[in-house]
Structure 1
Amino acid sequence: MTSGIDPDANLAAIDRAMGEAAAGGAAMAFLPEMSLLLDRDRARSAAHVAREADSPWPAALQAMAQKHGLWLHSGSMPLLADDGQRRVNRSHIIAADGSIRARYDKIHMFDVTLPSGENWTESAAYAGGDAMAVVETPLGQLGLSICYDLRFPELYRALTERGATLIAIPAAFTVSTGEAHWHVLMRARAIETGCHVIAAAQSGTHADGRETYGHSLAVDPWGAVLSDAGTGSETGDRGYRLSFAPIAGAAVDRARQAIPLARSRANRDIAL
């Protein structure tokens, strides 16, 4: 997606995309990080950001999932934390009947100064989550993470130990870090866990002035890229680019039998 600062426009784009996904035979749709509102102007975005109980966004996505008969990963959305002080960056997994099956708050905050000169301090506005989540979906046991979580492989090992067979990594990657690290890290997370990785991404130049890398990916457990949506702005009446990827559960078994990481790890007791 090329999400902007108008949540209604973003919701309309999501509705159209889900309709196309359902017509194309998809079992589940995945959205990128901050799919409903991508705005680094915190004062301007504050008018739209509420506690989940008071926000219209989850209910709108639940209605879309039910309307289109699709499971949905919301990517993520900004919501107020329960204490009302800072925000949380929260994902929802919504079943085709409209029920919310899981929630996940991004754990690792993007507090960095990049070689490009960009400075991001996510923790100034957002509180990090403190709980992992694995949820049963039509595609398998889905482990949840968001964007900067990608750089912490211990999280993905823990998700796999909890039964994950595929992992979602919705993102709004910067161009400079995306060019350097996006594909290699996504493939690494797939290979080292023996999981499918599905990484829906923001792409192009956004209304708030930022640029994101794009290249929404689906990667199989052997590290092969199944789908790459490319890059560029998808503005106007679409605001998104749709791609399809086959998710075969047998691929997980084949990868884990070929490289039995869990068994090999269990056979070694190393004191560090």
Structure 2
Amino acid sequence: MRVSVIQMNQGSDKAANLDQARRLIESAIAADRPGLVTLPETWTNLGGGRESRRAAAEILPEPGGTGGAAYELLRGLARAHGITVHGGSIIEDGGEKLFNTTLVFGPDGAEIARYRKIHLFDITAPDGTGYKESALYGGGSDLAFFEAGGIRFACTICYDVRFPELYQELRRRGAEAILVPSNFTLQTGKDHWEALLRARAIDTQCWILAAASYGTYEERGAVRSVYGHSLVADPWGHVVAKCSDGIGWATARIDTATTQRVRAGMPLEEHRDAARAWRAKAAS
């Protein structure tokens, strides 16, 4: 199965972001004919402050219902091109709180997965810049999976990648590929982005698909930078496709034979079962 990770330079103009996403997806489809495309984290809005985020937020419909502009764009692209569209994440209007939410649509345009980001980005960067996602967003609590091209995919978002126990649980529940749409900061990305993604590929023996935002954006009068370098890594941890600087996409082929070979040669899940049994015995 061919997959394309889309790299965007979105800002606070939602209409312009939707147009950029549509153009990049359609260009990737025309050039590489993927069976699945994936967008970055909060591709409908980056920057502009609280008011901009709330203005970009959408109330999500019940499955089959009519949604907002981003929801309908994703659904329409999936149906029009007969592919699976993983919508990175958009800002969901949950009432009192917003949510950082992934939506996935199958080739017939039906919604097949929905995931709210579990781990919220409340950190201080090396330069002293503070990020407090929990001030505006609520955290999710449920895992999400979907099937495409005979492959079982699992959903995560950005900061989730720093929590290997989450990824091991996804593997335990049958994941073969894991999506990581992101807005990684330039400071953390240059040191940790590829290392973390390759580590999660290695310790889960899953394909990792990480579509990321690139470039600069304005946040309450300050200019911030995101790292980009969207990539696909195989279950051995090799980066098999990667975006250059700027907007664009990278395409790779998920080969299930590679997954099977890696897992057969190094049966980590069997060894984890032994470790779980040891821990249970030690605790009794």
TM-score for the superposition, normalised by structure 2? 0.89
Distance 2:57 2:140 in 1: 17
Please give the secondary structure, in 1, of the residue aligned with 2:249. Answer: coil
Distance 1:139 1:39 in 2: 37
Q: CA contact under 8 A between 1:134 and 1:162: conserved in structure 2?
A: no
Q: Alignment partner for residue 262 of structure 1, among 262, 266, 269?
A: 269
The residue aligned with 2:124 is 113
**CA drift at 1:80:** 1.1
Distance 1:139 1:29 in 2: 16
**CA drift at 1:33:** 0.3
**CA drift at 1:106:** 0.1
Distance 2:144 2:104 in 1: 10
Partner deviation per Cα, 1:53-80 (whole Å, 9 max, x = no partner): 3633211210121122221110000111
Q: CA contact under 8 A between 2:208 and 2:233: conserved in structure 1?
A: yes
Q: Alignment partner for residue 214 of structure 1, among 228, 234, 238?
A: 228
Q: CA contact under 8 A between 2:48 and 2:218: conserved in structure 1?
A: no
71-80 or 44-53, which moves further after superposition? 44-53
25-34 or 66-75, which moves further after superposition? 66-75
**CA drift at 1:44:** 2.9
Does 2:59 match 1:59?
no
Distance 2:48 2:87 in 1: 19
The residue aligned with 1:29 is 37
The RMSD of aligned alpha carbons is 1.4
Q: Is the strand fraction higher in 1 or 2? A: 2
The residue aligned with 2:47 is 39
Q: Alignment partner for residue 27 of structure 2, among 1, 20, 25?
A: 20
The residue aligned with 1:241 is 248
Distance 1:248 1:49 in 2: 36
Please give the secondary structure, in 2, of the residue aligned with 1:57. Answer: helix
Partner deviation per Cα, 1:12-61 (whole Å, 9 max, x = no partner): 11211221222222111010001111125112332232321363321121
Structure 1 stretches of 4+ moved >4 Å = none
**CA drift at 1:5:** 1.1
The residue aligned with 1:68 is 81
Gaps of 5+ in 2: 1-7, 62-66
Aligned partner letter, 2:169: A
